[in-house]
Amino acid sequence: MTSFPRQLARTRRFTLGVPRAVRIAPDGRRLTYLRTAAGDDPVNALWSVEITPDGLGEPVCLVDPRALGGGDGQLPAAERARRERAREVAGGITSYAADPSLSLLAFGLGGRLWTVYLPTGAVVEHPAVDVFDPRPAPDARSVAYVSHDELHLLELVAGPEQPGATRRVIGEERVTWGRAEFIAAEEMGRSEGYWWGPQGRRIAVTRVDETKVTRWHLGDPASPWQAPTELRYPQAGSANAEVRLAVLDLEGPGRRVDVAWDREALPYLAHVRWGRDPLTLQVQSRDQRCSRVLVADPETGVCQVVREVADTAWVEPVPGAPCWSSGRLVTVEDQLDHGPGGSRAVLLDGEVLTPPGMQVHAVVDASDAQIVVLASDGDPTQRHLWIWRECHGLRPIGEHPAGVQAGVARGGVVVRTQSTLERPLVQVDVLRTGEESPEADVIPDGATPAAVPAAHVVIGHLPQVTEAPVVHPSVRLLELGPRRLRAALLLPAEGTEHASHHGPLPVLLDPYGGPHAQRVLRSHSAFLTSQWFADQGFAVLVVDGRGTPGRGPAWEREVRGDLAGPVLEDQLDALREAAAIEPRLDLRRVGIRGWSFGGTLALLAVLRAPDVVHAAVAGAPVTDWRLYDTHYTERYLGDPAREPHAYDISSLIDAEGALRPAAPWSIESPPALLLIHGLADDNVVAAHSVRMSAALLAEGRAHRFLPLSGVTHVTGEATIAERLLEEQVRFLRTELTDRPGMAPGG
């Protein structure tokens, strides 16, 4: 039987074989998507499905990368960086773009440029090299792309079924044109660096100058003959890249118009939208407490302010917003007085559309007829799709089973993914939503529109070939303590070696615990690894504390100025509360494991609460917040020059690399610590763990350090991912079960 660590690694955490990157034609008659051929196949292919009045046609594989001889060995540096920012763990065609009519698709493969013309199925390779982010024009007569930090244009002079002719549009020495800078892609959710105008004659392009950004070097000690990689990393308190936006005329002499806004006061370009909508920008101040939505005149570059939001903490950027519906501005804004704890609400020209307490995670679609959003309504462990129309207001899209949804929408079609705790595989549904008149779907007496599902018809399911996990989570969802901390408790499953053992179990805290990520969701896949650890003889507790999303802006703002105290306090409080409910939790044997922010939290636990937490696995932790990036860190801790105390109390080591004040470790039975870090990590660089190890050694605090040569922030290589899980469970078993004095009753 396949072991779970091997299956998890081989299936890339069960993401292979699931349709993704769905595009829908505006008439709702066709959709395209990416999917691998099997649940253990790491190569994405491009697929198409026709939508007929009777349902879905048979999926057609448009492009199999293996048939093109394309691989990932010669990826341009920009594409490698994009995949890292997107946490992409598969290969083949990992992204593609289409014209608005979904007739011409473009993608890069091994640095080569390919197009697919859907009306005939013609797949064409074009004369271009080191291609990054190709995107067809709205008229499907050309394709823009980036090569060597310059913007290029492929003109389909002989039509979409023949190789085109390429030309350089704009470039500049030591400046990047058309590619998102590091913090835009890593923290703002903006992966694009250019946007087509509505007719395909003009294009808006970012100009990024990183000259003043701190220069770091990432070397691999396992390969001392290789020169270190140079990295421009904007660490907290230091200079950011200078980002400008220009509109280029692609016809005639190539006129350039620079878009003008107050970049001194609002240097962050968080979002750009153009095409069906006017040229729209969202810009932010450096402290992120002010955000403006601007509409730029492409002829003059002059901007008009159409919306301004200020906040004493920060203004949260939300995927899909701002955008437009029937000429009205759609924004997502925090409303602190809209329900207990506030709401992250959808606004239409400043008017709130969503009810108190609803937390909007993304705007999925906005058109003249409707606005589709992904939101949690009262329960942060669930996310569902909702649709707003003028005649009926906000309505659920179909039934909302207890679980987690996501999706895309266009042309009266919604492609919806659904996960629940009970179902081991994600289900991908295709629904047709009709135009609703005020008289349609009569609302029962006493019911509110938001309680009645919008008119919809499930017309089919996109096939998936995901492997069924060999682990079956049995999750007990809890609300713990006065803060009603959302938590999940997992014990050894029936039929496993430890299920029949009714004595006390060592406890493993398994958090992320920080902003932007939730662990406690009503989704089967969310708890697979936690259940595997439970099946090895642990009681696993997963807790979302203050700062995590889904519970409103007031909850998220609890960590402003302190990314250590509240998050650790919530883990420890939840541990005590859970032990009062479940007597099998042995508080004499407590461990914690985590990666990234979870790794930071694991270090916090053994350094500040070693009397409670006795063993920790800390993967890729941030140990000094002054060495993390500007946009994320300054949002929560401010400018280190102005708010040094926030960095002092949140960091584990100081600027000189010395350990900050920590609780003493017992000489007889000190906590056990395993540090793990990828040496090629360009997000949380390995210096965090190297400096932490040196600081611990200087104070005589014994620990283990496992450096991973060639590994980035995401452990993508299957063998390493498998071995890492096995190493963690061996370490935790040894330290919480086998070590003298740590056995039950010891």
Give percent of the chain with pLDDT exceeding 90. 88
Q: What is the pLDDT of residue 448?
A: 55
Question: Measured between alpha carbons, how far is 732 from 672 in angstroms, rounded to an integer?
Answer: 9
CA separation, residue 451 to residues 467, 528, 677 (Å): 35, 32, 48
Sign of the C-alpha dihedral, residues 380, 386, 390, 393?
Answer: negative
* Element containing residue 362 per DSSP (H, E): strand 358-366
Question: Measured between alpha carbons, how far is 476 from 704 in angstroms, rounded to an integer?
Answer: 33
Tell whether the model's pLDDT for residue 443 goes beyond 70.
no
Question: Measured between alpha carbons, how far is 578 from 315 in angstroms, rounded to an integer?
Answer: 34
Question: Measured between alpha carbons, how far is 9 from 472 in angstroms, rounded to an integer?
Answer: 17
Question: Measured between alpha carbons, how far is 645 from 643 in angstroms, rounded to an integer?
Answer: 5
Tell whether the model's pLDDT for residue 1 goes beyond 90.
no
Q: Name the pLDDT band for 401 (thresholds 50, 70, 90).
A: very high
Of residues 501 and 589, which shows the higher confidence score? Answer: 589
Tell whether the model's pLDDT for residue 444 goes beyond 70.
no
**Contact indicator for 567, 605 with CB cutoff of 8 Å:** no
pLDDT, mean of residues 469-489: 97
Q: What is the pLDDT of residues 624-645, one digit of tens each?
A: 999 999 999 999 999 999 999 9
Q: What is the pLDDT of residue 486?
A: 98
Question: Measured between alpha carbons, how far is 296 from 543 in angstroms, rounded to an integer?
Answer: 44
Q: Name the pLDDT band for 617 (thresholds 50, 70, 90).
A: very high
pLDDT, mean of residues 12-22: 95
Tell whether the model's pLDDT for residue 437 goes beyond 80.
no
Of 483, 396, 511, which is closest to residue 447 (Cα–Cα)?
396
Q: What is the pLDDT of residues 599-616, one digit of tens each?
A: 999 999 999 999 999 999
Question: Measured between alpha carbons, how far is 552 from 535 in angstroms, rounded to an integer?
Answer: 34
**Contact indicator for 453, 395 with CB cutoff of 8 Å:** yes
pTM: predicted TM-score of the whole model, two decimal places = 0.94
**Contact indicator for 498, 537 with CB cutoff of 8 Å:** yes
Q: Name the pLDDT band for 742 (thresholds 50, 70, 90).
A: low
Listed in sequence order, the DSSP H helices in 196-262 are none
The ranges assigned to domains in the chain are: 172-317, 475-738
CA separation, residue 394 to residues 8, 343, 413 (Å): 39, 15, 17
- Please tell me whether residue 646 adopts helix, strand or coil conformation: helix
Q: In 10 A of CB 676, how many CB atoms? A: 24
Tell whether the model's pLDDT for residue 449 goes beyond 60.
no
Who contacts 54 (Cβ-Cβ below 8 Å, separation ≥6)? Answer: none
User: For the chain, how long is the longest CA-to-CA vector?
Assistant: 83
Q: What is the pLDDT of residues 289-299, one digit of tens each?
A: 999 999 999 99
Tell whether the model's pLDDT for residue 436 goes beyond 50.
no
CA separation, residue 217 to residues 60, 231, 242, 577 (Å): 45, 6, 21, 45
- Please tell me whether residue 419 adopts helix, strand or coil conformation: strand
**Contact indicator for 341, 554 with CB cutoff of 8 Å:** yes
Q: Name the pLDDT band for 54 (thresholds 50, 70, 90).
A: confident
Q: What is the pLDDT of residue 433?
A: 85
**Options 3.40.50.1820, 2.20.25.10, 1.10.1040.50, 3.40.50.300; which CATH number does 475-738 get?**
3.40.50.1820
Q: Cα 586 vs. chain centroid, distance in angstroms?
A: 35
Q: What is the pLDDT of residues 247-258, one digit of tens each?
A: 999 987 789 999
CA separation, residue 40 to residues 17, 69, 471, 622, 717 (Å): 8, 20, 16, 32, 13
Sign of the C-alpha dihedral, residues 624, 629, 634, 635?
Answer: negative
Tell whether the model's pLDDT for residue 246 goes beyond 70.
yes
Q: What is the pLDDT of residue 230?
A: 93
Looking at every residue in the chain, the average pLDDT score rounds to 93
> Using the 8-state DSSP alphabet, how is residue 460 labeled?
E
Q: What is the pLDDT of residue 457?
A: 86
Tell whether the model's pLDDT for residue 411 goes beyond 90.
no
Tell whether the model's pLDDT for residue 88 goes beyond 70.
yes
Q: In 10 A of CB 737, how many CB atoms? A: 18
Of 133, 91, 90, 98, which is closest to residue 113 (Cα–Cα)?
133
Of 475, 494, 303, 462, which is closest to residue 403 (Cα–Cα)?
475
Q: What is the pLDDT of residues 336-392, one digit of tens each?
A: 999 999 999 999 999 999 999 999 999 999 998 899 999 999 999 999 999 999 988
Q: What is the pLDDT of residue 451?
A: 60
Tell whether the model's pLDDT for residue 445 goes beyond 70.
no
Of residues 743 and 411, which shows the higher confidence score? Answer: 411
